[in-house]
Amino acid sequence: MKKISIGVIGTGAVGCVLASTLSAHEKLDVEFAYNCHKGVTIDGMTEIDTIKPTGNVKSLVKCVDDPKAFTSKKDIIFLVCKSTHMAKYAENIAHQLTDNGFVVMLNNALVRSCLTAKLPINKIVGMFIEWSCVKLNDYQVQILSDGPSVIGTYAKDATPLAKLVCNILTTVSNAVYVENFNEYVLGRIILNSAISCAGAICGYDVEHLFENKYGRKIFVELIKEGYFAYTKVGIIPTDYDGKLDYDMFCSKDLGARLYRRKIMNFLQKYSGTTTSSILLDLQNNKTIELDYLLGKIIETAEKNGVNCPVSKKVYNKIVEIYKGQETIRPELLEIIYKGRKKDDNR
C-alpha cells in the first residue's frame, strides 16, 4: 500500500515536532522543508529529537532546503509557518499537491485569504494546537504541556479531510474535530494576542505578567476590545474546552470581576513559564506577527465603530520597540494603561 506523502513547511518548534513525530510513523512518507543543515547526516536526513510528557521521540527526517525542492507532490502539506511568511509559501503550494491533495493550515485564520487566493477553500483544513512547546536548539524540541490538536474546516465539504488529519495526528497528540472552528480559532487568537502583546512590551512571561497590576488590567482591556470588535458583526468568539466564557469575562458586573481574576489565575498556573512569541521575535530581531494578530483585531474594531484605545497603544509601542525607538520594560504597562484615554480622545 502506498504511503501517504506529507510535506511540512515551517521551521519553528511546531514544524519540528510534526516532522519528527510523523516521520516515525511507518505509513507516512514525510519531507521537511528545513533550511538549516548543520546536523544533516546522509542523503538529506536530519535527526530531530522531540521531548514529550509521554516520552521522547527521536527520528531521522528527510529534509530539503525549500518547499520548491520537495522531491514529489504531496497528499497533505502542513503549513505551520509564521503568518508573515504565509503569502510566500502559498504562492506555489497548489503545484506541490497531488490531484486530491490538501493543506493543513496552523491557526492563521486571519490571513487565510493568502492561501485561498491560490487554493480552493475546500482543500484547506484548519488546525489549532493546544500544546505549548519551546525550541531548545536546532534539533531538539520540548512540548511543555500536551493538550489536543483542534481540527476544523472553512468549508463543510472538507470535513472528511479534517477527520483524516485527526487520525494522522493521533501520533502527535490527541486530535479533536470541531464544527465551530472559526469561532473557536477567533477566541483563541484574541486570547493569545492579548497575552503575547502584553508580554512583549514588558518582557515578562505569563506568570510575572499576571503578577503585575497593570499587566492584568491591560490583558483584560485587550480581551474586551477584541471580543466587542467581532460580536459587533455577529461573530461570537468561543473557547473549545469551556475554560473561558468570553461573554462573562467581558461583562460589567461584580461577578465578572471575580470571574476575570479566576481566569487569570488559571492561565498563570497553566502557562506561567511561557514567554510571548512576539517578545522572543523582538529579542532575536525576527519579523513579528503583530499585523496578523492585534493589527487585524484593531482593523475589525475600527470598521465596526468599536473603540480600542489600549489595543492601539500596545500596537504602537510594539512597533516602536521593533524599530528601536523604544525599550522593552515593565514600566510600559503602566504608561500604556494610564495613557489609553488620551489617545482615545484624539
| pLDDT per position as a tens digit, 12-54 | 888 989 998 999 888 899 999 976 655 555 567 888 888 888 7
User: Mean pLDDT, to the nearest integer, of 263-286?
Assistant: 87
pLDDT at site 346: 42
| pLDDT per position as a tens digit, 159-199 | 999 999 999 998 888 899 988 888 888 888 899 899 999 99
Instruction: Say if residue 28 is exposed, middle or buried (CB neighbours under 10 Å; 0-12, 13-18, 19+).
Output: middle
Tell me how far CA of residue 135 lies from CA of 53, 140, 187, 188, 193, in angstroms: 15, 7, 25, 22, 20
Ordered domains of the chain (ranges, CATH): 4-179 (3.40.50.720), 183-344 (1.10.1040.10)
Q: How far apart are CA 161 and CA 67, in angstroms?
A: 22
Q: For residue 127, what is its C-alpha cell?
A: 488546525
Q: How far apart are CA 67 and CA 89, in angstroms?
A: 8
pLDDT at site 37: 52
- Averaged confidence pLDDT in the chain: 87
pLDDT above 50: residue 101 = yes
How many other CB atoms sit within 10 Å of the CB of residue 337?
20
Which residue, among 157, 101, 310, 107, has the nearest Cα to 220 in the 3D structure?
310
pLDDT above 90: residue 204 = yes
Cα 41 off chain centre by: 31
